[in-house]
Amino acid sequence: MYTESGPFLNLLSSSILRSSEIVGTVIFQIPPVSIPAPQYSSGDDNLFTGLGSMDLVSLILIAVVVHYLGAAVQQMRPDFHHWGIKLGIGAFLLWAGAWLTEHGMNDRWGVAAMLLRGILFGTIACGVVRTLQPIWQRIADLASEARRWQERRERERQRREEEIERRKRQHQADLDWERNAPQREAAARQEEERRQQALVWKRRKEEARAQAMQLFLRHRSTLGEMFTRSDFDEYLKSYMGDSQPVETVERRLQELSELVEQLVERVLPPKKVTTLEEAAEWYQENCRMVERLNLTDRQKRSMLATLSRKHTEMMERILGDMPI
Where are the domains positioned within the chain? 6-151, 186-321
The DSSP-derived string for 200-221 is HHHHHHHHHHHHHHHHHHHHHH
Helices (H), the chain: 6-26, 53-74, 80-103, 108-179, 181-223, 229-239, 246-266, 276-292, 297-321
Give pLDDT, residue 26.
Answer: 44
**What's the CA gap between 249 and 187, in Å, rounded?**
29
Alpha carbon of 206 to those of 68, 154, 210, 244, 246: distances in Å? Answer: 108, 69, 6, 12, 10
pLDDT at 158: 93
Residue 159: predicted pLDDT = 93
Entry pTM = 0.36
- Per-residue pLDDT, 151: 92
Separation between Cα atoms, residue 3 and residue 11, nearest integer Å: 14
Q: Which residue type does 254 have? A: Q
Q: Which residue ranges in the chain fall short of pLDDT 50?
A: 1-55, 57-58, 73, 76
Q: What was the pLDDT predicted at 285? A: 78
> What pLDDT score does 95 carry?
61
